[in-house]
Amino acid sequence: MNGSRNRSVTIGIDLGTRNALCAYMNGVRPVMIPNRWGRISTPSVVGWDRGWVVGEDAVRLSFRGSYPVWWDLKRKVGGEFQALCGEKNCTAQEILVPLLCALREDAEVFLGQFVSSCVLAVPAIFSLLQREAMVRAAEAAGLREVRVINEPTAAALAFGREGRFLVLDFGAGTVDVSVVESEGGVWQVLESVGTSKIGGYDFDLALAEWLRERLRLPDLSPEDPRWRTLVWEAEALKIALSSCQSYDWVPPAIGGTGEMGGAGKIGEAGEPLKGEPLKVEREDLERMVRFSIRRVVHIVRRLWTRHEPEHLLLVGGSSRIPLLREILETEVARPERLSLCAEESIVAGAALCARIGDGRLLLDILSGDVGFLRDGQPEILIPAGTPVPFAARASFMPARSGKVELPIFQNMGDAREERTILSLLTLNVEANVEVEIHCSLSTSGLIHFVLRQGSTQVEMPLFSLKRDILASAPSSGGQRIRDLKLRLTPLEILCSAEQVERLHGLVRQVENIKDGGVSTEILEGIVKDLEVALS
């Protein structure tokens, strides 16, 4: 913690589908932040038991009985999902808040200071809506300043070498493939695609289902503690099978706590439950996951042939699956290991990103076209692959007066086939007067839309831009103030000595205010007024 004690720390957060990690920069090295349970990774699980329960406590809660516990929240963020917590209906984004809160608190305990800014890594395929939901959740958790970056980009940043590489981030809930090129401290994303339909967690569920059938258990509801135990076991089994060909699995004594029938009923099917191990072969697992892995490899191969990168990097827990490595090696290229642990590279990259500016720059791109629908016809305003930040303008001539409804959409998905409506702008317009559309996209991939005709306008503030921390670098106002001072010099001759003194005092004050813009505007106003007064 040398040197970082006095200034505010920005932490990097990788909020995965299955696990969440936190890191910060200690000097030049990213350091993982341990949680309250003494581990580096916190399960991304939130439960409700007359209050929020998160992390390992929530995992334990789910084994204890049928409490509402959410295991797979990240993929539901920004969607329709709603759940009942106590008396209130909560969205996925609201349920994530206590988890992010816990991560923040752990970081605060570890660092011994308040943490209120973070870099949040999200899958590259997250739509603008999902990004915004994540940012809102982080804000509600007390992280006032949030910068969003893409996970594969973060991994490439952590890799740190020059050249062009393809990063495959195969996590528990999403698959992200990005081609990143790095040269002279600039990391540029060339293309990124992915899907949230495939993930390691789905493999766990499939394996759990298979185990359930082997144990001849009845259908179990997702809230059932026995099902949770099975999924938990399946995950451990999957991990074990990555390093051995077959595994003697001892079924846990899943007694259950009543409700579903209790210990007696499970044994009913006649299958012995206690003690006798069940032999699970690696092939059994591979049969279940082969199809999904083929699809991932297909995406990888498509990008590989298009960009011909030099390295293939694998990150994310599911990238350890031997079958994936095997197929990639025979069909695409030999995957390289990051020096870091596969799970840690993303969060390390996020932490590195918090220090962007000193010799490191990240050029990220928009992952899905943004546009608007006009009379049912889609019109693309910012095409996918455009480096952010970006601003675009468009205009159209309304044929008749009245209300104009303009849906703003983003194309997402593997082949950009899914269309997400981000917002609906309505404006009363007059006929034959040009209507302007301004759209600006921030570095974090957050969008701001303005629809304007003359003096009337309507905005889509999915997110207000000023909260983007890294967008306002400290040096921004310096040049402008210098220019204004130059303009002041000829004016000073015309003022009396006492007035000049006051003027200098004002300029000094403005220089000391660090608010990025408003103070400079005030100074500019003064200079203009003076010029008018003295002309």
Partner 1 sequence: MSVSVKVMYSLRVLGLPPGATAPEIRSAFRRLARTCHPDVAGRQGARKFEQITGAYTFLKGLTQEELRQGQLQEDGASRNERNEPEAFRWGWKRWEKALTWRQKRKERLKAEQGRKERLAQEREEKIRQKREASVESVLARGEKAVENLLLLMEQETQKCNVQDLLLRLSSEVPRVRHLALSRLGTLANRPELLAATLRLLQRWDIDDKTARLVVSLPLAGENHQTLAEKLAGRAQALPDSLLMHLLRLQNSSQTLDRELMERYLQKASPTGIALILRYWPQETFVSSSVLLDLLSRKSEVVLVPLLSIMKQRSVPCPEGGREYLTAHLSHPNVAVRIWAKALLSSCEDSGPFPPL
Give the nearest distance from C-beta 417 to partner 1 in angstroms.
21
**312 lies in the site for partner 1, by CB under 8 A:** no
The values of phi and psi at residue 388, to 5°, are: -100, 155
Q: By the 8 A CB rule, do 177 and 331 touch? A: no
- The smaller minimum CB distance to partner 1, of residues 198 and 510, is found at 510
Degrees to nearest 5, angle at CA 365 with 359 and 370 = 150
Which of 183, 326, 405, 430 touches partner 1 (CB under 8 A)? Answer: 183
CA distances from 22 to 138, 197, 350 (A): 13, 25, 9
**160 lies in the site for partner 1, by CB under 8 A:** no
Residues 6 or more apart whose CB falls under 8 angstroms from that of 59 comprise 43, 45, 69, 232
For the record, the structure tokens of 374 come out as 């006009």
- The smaller minimum CB distance to partner 1, of residues 1 and 424, is found at 1
Q: By the 8 A CB rule, do 150 and 106 touch? A: no
Decide: helix, strand or coil at residue 371.
strand
Size of the site for partner 1 (CB under 8 A): 65
Q: Where are the beta strands (DSSP E) in 271-417?
A: 278-281, 311-315, 361-363, 370-374, 377-382, 390-396, 402-412
Which of 2, 377, 475, 489 touches partner 1 (CB under 8 A)? Answer: 475
**36 lies in the site for partner 1, by CB under 8 A:** yes
Give the nearest distance from C-beta 395 to partner 1 in angstroms.
17
Q: In this structure, are strands 117-122 and 10-15 parallel, antiparallel, or unpaired?
A: parallel
Give the nearest distance from C-beta 228 to partner 1 in angstroms.
24
| Residue whose tokens read 């040009």 | 434
**142 lies in the site for partner 1, by CB under 8 A:** yes
Report the distance separating Cα 115 and Cα 29, nearest Å.
18
Report the distance separating Cα 443 and Cα 447, nearest Å.
10
Residues 406-445: x where in contact with partner 1 by CB under 8 A, - otherwise, as a string: -------------------------------------x--
Residues 6 or more apart whose CB falls under 8 angstroms from that of 461 comprise 448
Report the distance separating Cα 298 and Cα 363, nearest Å.
26
Residues 226-265: x where in contact with partner 1 by CB under 8 A, - otherwise, as a string: ----------------------------------------
Give the nearest distance from C-beta 268 to partner 1 in angstroms.
42
**105 lies in the site for partner 1, by CB under 8 A:** yes
CA distances from 506 to 319, 494, 518, 523 (A): 59, 17, 14, 8
In this structure, the chain runs to a length of: 535
**116 lies in the site for partner 1, by CB under 8 A:** yes
Segment contacting partner 1 by CB under 8 A, of 70-78, 119-127, 154-162, 501-509: 501-509
**486 lies in the site for partner 1, by CB under 8 A:** no
Segment contacting partner 1 by CB under 8 A, of 230-238, 289-297, 318-326, 507-515: 507-515
Give the nearest distance from C-beta 359 to partner 1 in angstroms.
10
Cα pseudo-dihedral 221, 223, 227, 231, rounded to 10: 120
**502 lies in the site for partner 1, by CB under 8 A:** yes
**33 lies in the site for partner 1, by CB under 8 A:** no
Give the nearest distance from C-beta 383 to partner 1 in angstroms.
7
- The smaller minimum CB distance to partner 1, of residues 187 and 227, is found at 187
**370 lies in the site for partner 1, by CB under 8 A:** no
**530 lies in the site for partner 1, by CB under 8 A:** yes
Per CB under 8 A, residues contacting partner 1 are: 36, 101, 105-106, 108-109, 112-114, 116, 142, 144, 181, 183-186, 188, 190, 356-357, 361-363, 383, 385-387, 389-391, 443, 470-477, 479-480, 494-496, 499, 502-503, 506, 509-510, 513, 515-519, 522-523, 525-526, 529-530, 533-534
